[in-house]
């Protein structure tokens, strides 16, 4: 456990963020291994199918990830307030709600999968690859949801290390299973999906084992299965808006893929390969956002309003600095790195698309860094409406850019849709945080007066 209500804010945030960054990079690694092995052994069509499946997976799985992230915030607040009975009741609610959501998503997504791929204008030579992969992912949805849930519960009490250890073990397992299923058993892209689900199941088991060995505050007994109406509403009020926020963003990603599909399989493959490298940046910057949700949630529960303001300011500066460094590197090396996902024949094509991708995306990573910090901060402050509106703005900007600019300027139009979406969200989040900051300053003054 890690109490983030005491000590130097930036030090606490960094100590929490670093394991998250390592974990997210390992998670990205096992996703990249899928892409690398498929691209190297099955060609550009299979690589394109995996890319399309990724955006559709984000739409469905992202809903569950957002939901579990939201329902973990009340637990962080209860932990910050030292209300451990409430923490245990929150664990019960998180498990129950996660199971219900995962079953519902599996039923809906599996039935509509092929139709969704057709609506997305998926090229005929690619659609079967995407379908084979997504069918397995949707069937194993409950494993993915529970893995994200238990990881968020551990992070809510300040433990960002256990999920990292689980991800390291998962990544190694996934790499081995990818090779065995795809190369040895010739299971195609479905083999990559099976490897992902089985690896995540191992991570779930490891996290629960750690909880029931060492983390008493998250261990529940029969007496903890108590449903308080106010607490159920609080969990749903934060869980569903965050789920919809993620889904709104994912709808934008699916829209981008739909527009991209009109450019052919090579463009889809090039975008998919570049996007895997782009995820490196996103995962690092997102880690600061995840850290802020826990940090703000705990300090808000403990009424440490001044610490919240200080932590946000310092984290925003650090995150923007990291974004600028990544931009400089990828604007020069992005094409070369993208080419690694194809064989010698496909490498030149992928490199061309990769260079174009990062020259248009890199200069705007600083916007993405602010988006993650301020969105998570507002969520940690129980503010769900503004982040939802920011997500809607992301969707509008991304969809308009993708469908208006892609027919005019081609691949560049598709890529530009991402920075435009980030800008739209930041224009809503920053003013909202400034208003919230004034409230926090006033609350801190009132607390000081009462103490004195």
Domain locations along the chain: 9-451
pLDDT value, residue 109: 79
What is the model's pTM? 0.70
pLDDT value, residue 357: 93
In angstroms, the CA 86 to CA 74 distance is 9
Tokens 């019960």 found at: 92
pLDDT value, residue 450: 63
Q: Spell out the long-range contacts of 419-424 with Cβ–Cβ below 8 A and sequence spacing 24 or more.
A: 419/360, 419/361, 419/363, 419/364, 419/367, 421/249, 421/252, 421/393, 421/394, 421/395, 421/397, 422/364, 422/367, 422/368, 422/371, 422/394, 423/364, 423/367, 423/397, 424/390, 424/393, 424/394, 424/396, 424/397
Q: Which of 283, 41, 35 is closest to 167 using CA atoms?
A: 283
Burial of residue 259 (number of CB atoms within 10 Å: 0-12, 13-18, 19+)? buried
CB 63 within 8 A of CB 105: yes
Write out residues in the chain with pLDDT < 70, as ranges. 1-2, 27, 30-31, 55, 249-250, 343-345, 449-452
Average pLDDT of the chain to the nearest whole number = 85
pLDDT value, residue 31: 67
In angstroms, the CA 188 to CA 425 distance is 38
Ramachandran angles phi, psi of 3, nearest 5°: -80, 110
Q: What are the tens digits of pLDDT across the range 383-431? A: 878 888 888 888 888 888 888 888 888 899 889 988 999 999 999 999 9
Number of other residues whose CB lies within 10 A of the CB of residue 449: 8
CA dihedral 391, 397, 399, 402 (to 10 degrees): -140
Tokens 């916007």 found at: 367
Q: How far is CA 108 from CA 114, 138, 242, 259, 371, in A?
A: 12, 9, 20, 24, 30
């Amino acid at each position: 456990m890690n109490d983030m209500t005491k000590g130097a804010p930036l030090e606490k945030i960094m100590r929490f963020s670093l394991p998250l960054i390592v974990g997210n990079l390992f998670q990205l690694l096992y996703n990249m291994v899928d892409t690398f092995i498929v691209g190297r052994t099955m060609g550009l069509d299979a690589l394109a199918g995996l890319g399309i499946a990724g955006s559709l997976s984000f739409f469905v799985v992202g809903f569950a990830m957002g939901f579990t992230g939201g329902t973990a915030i009340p637990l962080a607040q209860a932990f910050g307030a030292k209300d451990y009975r409430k923490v245990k009741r929150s664990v019960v609610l998180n498990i129950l709600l996660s199971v219900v959501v995962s079953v519902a998503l599996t039923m809906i997504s599996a039935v509509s999968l092929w139709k969704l791929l057709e609506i997305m204008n998926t090229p005929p030579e690619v659609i079967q690859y995407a379908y084979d992969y997504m069918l397995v992912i949707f069937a194993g949805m409950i494993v993915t949801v529970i893995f994200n849930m238990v990881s968020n519960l551990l992070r809510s009490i300040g433990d960002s290390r256990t999920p990292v250890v689980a991800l390291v073990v998962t990544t190694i397992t996934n790499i081995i299973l990818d090779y065995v299923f795809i190369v040895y058993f010739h299971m195609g892209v479905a083999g990559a999906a099976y490897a992902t689900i089985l690896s995540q199941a191992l991570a779930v088991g490891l996290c629960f084992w750690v909880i029931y060995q060492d983390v008493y505050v998250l261990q529940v007994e029969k007496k903890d299965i108590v449903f308080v109406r106010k607490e159920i509403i609080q969990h749903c009020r934060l869980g569903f808006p965050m789920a919809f926020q993620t889904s709104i963003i994912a709808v934008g990603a699916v829209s981008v893929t739909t527009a991209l599909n009109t450019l052919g399989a090579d463009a889809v493959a090039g975008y998919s390969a570049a996007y895997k490298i782009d995820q490196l940046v996103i995962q690092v910057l997102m880690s600061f956002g995840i850290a802020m949700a826990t940090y703000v949630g705990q300090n808000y529960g403990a009424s440490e309003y001044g610490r919240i303001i200080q932590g946000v300011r310092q984290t925003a500066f650090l995150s923007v600095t990291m974004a600028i460094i990544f931009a400089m590197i990828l604007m020069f090396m992005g094409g070369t790195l993208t080419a690694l996902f194809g064989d010698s024949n496909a490498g030149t094509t992928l490199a061309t698309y990769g260079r174009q991708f990062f020259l248009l995306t890199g200069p705007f990573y600083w916007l993405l860094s602010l988006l993650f910090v301020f969105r998570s901060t507002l969520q940690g402050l129980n503010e769900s409406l503004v982040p939802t509106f920011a997500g809607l703005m992301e969707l509008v900007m991304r969809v308009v850019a993708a469908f208006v600019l892609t027919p005019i300027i081609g691949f560049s139009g598709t890529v530009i849709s991402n920075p435009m979406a980030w800008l739209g969200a930041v224009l809503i989040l920053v003013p909202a945080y400034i208003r919230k900051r004034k409230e926090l300053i006033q609350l801190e003054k009132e607390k000081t007066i009462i103490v004195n």
